[in-house]
Amino acid sequence: MLALLIPVHAQERVDTGVYRRPLGHDPQTLDPARINDIYSRSVAQQLFDGLVQFDQTLTVVPALAEFWRSSRDGLTWTFNLRRGVKFHHGREVTADDVVFSLSRILDPRTRSGAADLFMNIEGAREFREGRAKTVMGLVAIDPHTVQITLQGAQGPFVAVLAVGHARIVPRDMVERLGDAFGDQPVGTGPFRLERWERGKEIVLAANQEYFAGPPRLAKLVYRIFPGEQFDAMYGEFFKGNLEDTPIPPREQRVKTPDPRYVYVKRPMISVRFYGFNTQVKPLDDRRVRQALVYAVDREAIIEEVFLGRFTPARGILPPGTQGFNPRLKGYAHDPRRARELLAEAGYPNGRGLPPIAIWSSVRHEGLVREYEQIKQYLEAVGVQSEIHYLSDWPSYSKALDEGKLPVFLYGWYADVPDPDNFLFKLFQSKSSRNFFRYANRMVDELLTAARNAPDIQRRVELYQRAEQLVLDDAPLMPMMHHTYERLFQPYVRAIEVNGLGDPYIPFRKIWLERAR
């Protein structure tokens, strides 16, 4: 946890009411149930609240639910809503909105990536399959009380309710706007949408009636830099046109951060990887996928391109996550083994192997240098490759969903700090986030068993076995676990960053020190 209160120093005059920050892509949608990327999440977090939320230490704390209780068996949860909390359009939040919002995640028409997290609610499967009109386990007892009944306890259910998808939306507005709700969101959050100019900026205004007190910022402005133009963001920051900026990959790790600015650094619960579509040739052959991973010296790339700023990923689960296995058997850089595997697959020295198409939604100096090194490593074992950039995030995301990208660069940032959120979400054969089109019956069985394991030790054992099986099948080439590094202007106060990263910064707490 980082909560920084910086002493006041002499400084130039600043506009204390408006906070301007960069966003690496245009959001695909601001409908919380449908969000599948960090760009959308970063904005939506400021517009909506859930029943509960994660604080700076990733502890679950009250939000719209003032308090809650569970039965001894952990199967019945009762939430009491705060009274008088209003949506941005003026109507009070009710238990019916909560039931509607959670049911909507389970509705297949919503296409929510979080539906699997709520499938243990009683009646969820029947509702999702169209055999019931309502979810039996979601009940509004009265206007301010919601009861949720589970079929089985799968870890602490209250933590699932803190994920970004489980935000409470106004039933009347969603039903009136339909799909357009993602462009005209209405929530209860500390900020409300004032303007969204695609490709340029998103402007949020303070919600003066926020239940926890109005934000100290008058406006929160997201300036959009499509394709994560880190150098452009950095330049705008030093011109005084942004209140914060990520640090470009080219910046040297040995360089002492400029003491004029606030420097924040902490580990992230994330993994960045190149995914392989396992249903397209030649990537449908496990030996080819394994050869590609063996061919690339990923640690050297992190050291040379990113100057050692990130943690090399041997597996999927990041350090600090329950189930992280320091003894995990990953893939060393082994060109000889890569050539052997290619020969076994019928491509001796790469002969007959078509060029491997690699896709990325971002294009910056570090990524270009990374690809050039990957290209050289692949060529050393006889594999040709080509890079394609698609910097329009909604288009990139759609192409992923449709299975059109053979090899794709992707970063996964946890919704919940739990191994299930990485392994089940990404590799369970029916998961909507399984962009790899990966299916392994044993992995599915292990992941299901882990969800229902009676104790933590057994749960960890099952997740570690599943992770090793996934790595053996090589549907991805893990690259790194990100480190959060960001510069803030010296007048920014009360910064809090937890392990879920940038989308979860509570901007309602931030204020800007007036010049003296």
Write the CATH number for 157: 3.90.76.10
Between 232-241, 291-300, 301-310, 331-340, the lowest mean confidence (pLDDT) is in: 301-310
280: number of Cβ within 10 Å: 15
13, 161: one domain: no
Q: Which of 508, 495, 492 is nearest to 189 (CA)?
A: 508
297, 203: one domain: no
Taking residues 302-309, what's their average pLDDT? 86
Taking residues 89-116, what's their average pLDDT? 95
108-147 residue pLDDT tens: 999 998 898 899 999 999 999 999 999 999 999 999 999 9
Asked if 288 and 342 touch (Cβ cutoff 8 Å), the reply is yes
Residues 6+ apart with CB under 8 A from 322: 417, 418, 419, 456, 459, 460
Taking residues 312-335, what's their average pLDDT? 91
Comparison of pLDDT for 187 and 320, the residue scoring more: 187
Torsional sign, CA 394, 35, 194, 237 = negative
Residue 194 lies in a domain: yes
Asked if 356 and 325 touch (Cβ cutoff 8 Å), the reply is no
| pLDDT (0 to 100) of residue 454 | 74
Strand partners, 139: 147
| pLDDT (0 to 100) of residue 159 | 87
Residue 266: pLDDT above 90?
Answer: no
| pLDDT (0 to 100) of residue 67 | 94
Burial class (CB in 10 A: 0-12, 13-18, 19+), 145: middle
The helix or strand, by DSSP H or E, that contains position 398, with its residue range, turns out to be: helix 393-401
Distance CA 182, CA 469 (A): 38
Q: What is the DSSP letter of 11?
A: -
Residue 204 lies in a domain: yes
289, 249: one domain: no
Between 5-9, 57-61, 209-213, the lowest mean confidence (pLDDT) is in: 5-9
Taking residues 362-380, what's their average pLDDT? 92
Residue 446's CATH number? 3.10.105.10
Taking residues 241-257, what's their average pLDDT? 74
| pLDDT (0 to 100) of residue 456 | 83
394-427 residue pLDDT tens: 899 999 999 999 999 999 988 778 898 899 999 9
Residue 477: pLDDT above 80?
Answer: yes
Residue 40 lies in a domain: no
| pLDDT (0 to 100) of residue 153 | 65
Q: Which of 285, 264, 272 is nearest to 312 (CA)?
A: 272
Range of the domain at 97: 47-177
Distance CA 420, CA 167 (A): 20
Distance CA 305, CA 387 (A): 17
Residue 306: pLDDT above 90?
Answer: no
313: number of Cβ within 10 Å: 25
204, 302: one domain: no
User: What is the chain's mean pLDDT, rounded?
Assistant: 91
Asked if 101 and 169 touch (Cβ cutoff 8 Å), the reply is yes
Distance CA 153, CA 269 (A): 24
Strand partners, 360: 389
Residue ranges with strand state E in 24-103: 52-54, 60-62, 65-70, 76-81
Distance CA 323, CA 328 (A): 11
What is the phi-psi region of residue 82: left when phi exceeds 0, alpha when psi lies from -120 to 50, beta otherwise? beta
Taking residues 198-223, what's their average pLDDT? 96
Q: Which of 187, 31, 198, 28 is nearest to 109 (CA)?
A: 31
Asked if 45 and 164 touch (Cβ cutoff 8 Å), the reply is yes
Residue 9: pLDDT above 90?
Answer: no
| pLDDT (0 to 100) of residue 290 | 98
At 209, list the tokens.
Answer: 């009636």
Residues 6+ apart with CB under 8 A from 375: 385, 387
Q: Which of 317, 233, 330, 290 is nearest to 22 (CA)?
A: 233
Among 177, 207, 224, residue at a domain's last position:
177
Q: What is the DSSP letter of 116?
A: G
63, 95: one domain: yes
Residue 32 lies in a domain: no
Taking residues 488-504, what's their average pLDDT? 91
Residue 182 lies in a domain: no
256, 276: one domain: no
| pLDDT (0 to 100) of residue 14 | 41
200, 348: one domain: no
| pLDDT (0 to 100) of residue 257 | 66
171-182 residue pLDDT tens: 999 999 999 999
Distance CA 207, CA 191 (A): 5
Residue 35 lies in a domain: no
| pLDDT (0 to 100) of residue 155 | 62
Torsional sign, CA 326, 328, 329, 332 = negative
Amino acid (one-letter) located at 105: I
Residue 157: pLDDT above 90?
Answer: no
Q: What is the DSSP letter of 20?
A: E
At 409, list the tokens.
Answer: 């660069």
Between 30-39, 98-107, 116-125, 413-422, the lowest mean confidence (pLDDT) is in: 413-422
Residue 434 lies in a domain: yes
| pLDDT (0 to 100) of residue 299 | 94
456, 494: one domain: no
Rg (the chain; Cα; Å): 23
Read out DSSP for 291-338? HHHHH--HHHHHHHTSTT-SEE-SSSSPTTSTT--TT-------HHHH
467, 355: one domain: yes
121, 253: one domain: no
Burial class (CB in 10 A: 0-12, 13-18, 19+), 159: middle
Number of domains in the chain: 3
113, 141: one domain: yes
156, 228: one domain: no
Residue 31 lies in a domain: no
